[in-house]
Amino acid sequence: MGPAPTLVPPPHSYLQIYEYLLSRGADPTLLTDDFDPYLDPGRKTPADVAHAAGGTRAALAALDAKHAAIPKSRQPHRDVGDWWALYDYGAETVAAWPASFDPPYPEAATRARETAARRARRAARRAAAGAGDEGCSVAAVAAPAPARPAATNPAAPPPPLALATLSLDPLLRFTPAPGVAFLFPGQGAQAVGMLASSTHLPAVRAMLAAACDVLGYDLAALIAAGPQAKLDDTAVAQPALYVAGLAALERLRAEDPSLASSPAAMAGLSLGEYAALTAAGALAFEDGLRLVAARGAAMAEAAATPPPHGMLSIVGLDDAEVDAAVVAGRAAGGVCAVANRLFPGGRVLAGHAPALAAAGAAATAAGALKVARLPVAGGFHTELMAPAAAALRAALGKVVFKNPAVPVWSNVLGAPFPDATSIPALLEAQLTSPVLWQETLAGLVAAGSSGGATAARLVELGPGGQIRAMVKRVDAAAWAGMKSVAP
């Protein structure tokens, strides 16, 4: 046999290749990264790269028009040909990544930790130079967590990450265990020193350093030293408890990583709903911090609007008797409504002061075991919070929500949020709607029990133990097996 013939491409073969790609769904509007950054900067379309002379651009445009009706394939991820990405995650996984997906590469996590450490050092220098209230006491001792090795062939794209932008464990993903539910407490659980068991954890220090930047004051110092009266201020208590709930999760992660990664569902009482959404990956940590700060400030302002209003706890009456007390309260004038359905026989009313006084008298006459005003600033979860709901709506409009990695139960529905798009409206509605906490707890216990096949395991994440006390009145078996983790 003679030598192999030399293959000479026919004229305009590149146009044939271009047409073939178009016929397979290639999108000619996608921009290429193959450009000269100095002489000819900027990403370009294939037509932009082609020479105008000789009619090449016109030929490309004609082919674009010819195949315009063919459905276009999605843009591949930028790392579809990256060897290390293919090695770590697998070709099929990388091919399925959306173009906008940001993979949790270990080197990216390292850069994020280094950035956080630099920010902490700058904050420490400002504090040392006499920044006063502008500095963060925790920043001087903030330290990055050790790096973790990359996972082999994770799902694509991976589920939302706990603590989102601030997670110091970027490869964390949930492996739901039947019956395990995480519960986060709400306002009223705050206490000076409540982070004493978790401030040594790098992730908690990172959260507190971020809180200083976002809030503009030293939340760590307020939590550590008080005074309690300042910590009880609605505008401060809400960011403090948001951080405390997530700090408790970090403590659980350090002490029992298997349990920390196993929730099948989450829920939070009022404010605690924001911690649950963040822990489930639906909300970035710093976005959640901004939301609870805006929420707390708006609720404090609404609470200060005259005439005076507040909340009243009633224990030991059935719902018909509570409803009768509400009617008596409204007859006295002003707003009076059920704000929290906490457990069987445990209800909280909210409304104007004279209405609550009348409702309390009616409840006492009906034989209530306990009637007491709550130490909160206003009539939360009623129409009295409508101005706060409007202010919160503006803050919610600036935040991107994702579908949570596990179901998060809504206070308004007493059932899981349907999807990410439903979250903003339900968070807004929560301010003026009763909290269906009894229904939430009962639903979680029922879902976790799986018809008796497994026992529900509830984990309270936060200070105070208020949720565990409520669970005891909803389901004694679930209470007996419940775990409470203080931050």
Residue tagged active-site, from 352, 381, 410, 433: 381
393 in any annotated domain = yes
Q: Give me the domain span that covers residue 359.
A: 309-376
What is the three-class DSSP state of 186? coil
Write down the pLDDT at residue 206: 92
Report the share of the chain in percent with pLDDT over 70.
Answer: 76
pLDDT at residue 432 in the model: 95
418 domain-assigned: yes
Tell me if 394 is assigned to some domain: yes
The per-residue pLDDT for range 164-199, each reduced to its tens digit, is 344 434 334 567 777 889 999 998 888 899 999 999
Structural domain count of the chain: 3
Do 331 and 436 sit in the same domain of this protein?
A: no
**pLDDT value, residue 244:** 96
The low-confidence residues of the chain, meaning pLDDT below 70, are 1-12, 33-43, 49-54, 83-88, 104-174, 449-455
Closest C-alpha to 427, from 311, 294, 336? 294
Q: Which of 167, 270, 410, 433 is catalytic?
A: 270
- Claim to verify: residue 171 and residue 242 sit in the same structural domain: yes
**One domain, residues 315 and 178:** no
My answer on whether 270 and 316 are in the same domain is: no
Q: What is the dihedral of CA 412, 308, 463, 459, to 10 degrees?
A: -20
- Please tell me the predicted confidence (pLDDT) of residue 153: 39
User: Does residue 391 sit within a domain?
Assistant: yes
Q: What is the pLDDT of residue 288?
A: 95
Residues 123 and 175 reside in one and the same domain = yes
In-domain check, residue 153 = no
In a domain, 279, yes or no: yes
pLDDT for the residue numbered 182: 96
How many Å apart are CA 126 and CA 118, to the nearest integer? 12
381 is catalytic: yes
Active site residue 270: yes
The Cα–Cα gap between 246 and 362 comes to: 40
Helix spans in 30-183 (H): 46-49, 56-66, 83-89, 91-96, 106-128
CATH code of residue 277: 3.40.366.10
CATH code, 370: 3.30.70.250
The answer to whether residues 133 and 198 belong to one domain is yes
φ/ψ (deg, to 5) at 315: -125, 135
Last residue of a domain, one of 23, 52, 73: 73
pLDDT tens-digit map of 21-33: 888 888 888 877 5
